[in-house]
Structure 1
């Protein structure tokens, strides 16, 4: 009878040990999962930050492009106005010559 009690106690101790080991393994798995989730969140945050930086850079390029286009349009407008004034001046000169003002 004493042997059975020792065996039962050993078996109960063994079962308890296995249960504790299983719980520890589950806890470790949970901690690993939490760490993996934290790493994944951190990567997502870094990706979002990277995208925001790229968007800012793109926005700056768009602003520079628009500014350059406005300058080009302004310069083209001045050039067209100057060309128009030159044409008018030439036409006036030719009109003056055709008037035969010195007859």
Structure 2
């Protein structure tokens, strides 16, 4: 198993729009493409970022899952609809990780 930590920083004034798109509208589509969201977070104190953790079988599965998601017409439509007034994302960072604890793959 590998894990991917994704951190999104919104464009100023677009925090709620980004959170709605990611948490309420995009994430429900992700399982259709074998993207397992393990958890999602907002930092404290709240600085507007959205942080979430995904799990994949391996790096090939991750690449295939994100490619399928990017090609999904529902995602393309959602992105277009939510960016009518401009982009929502200022920066996005992604870190791939493996568990360092024995037996932690179960969580």
Higher relative contact order (CA 8 A, sep 6+): 2
TM-score (norm 1): 0.18
Please say which structure displays the higher CA radius of gyration: 1
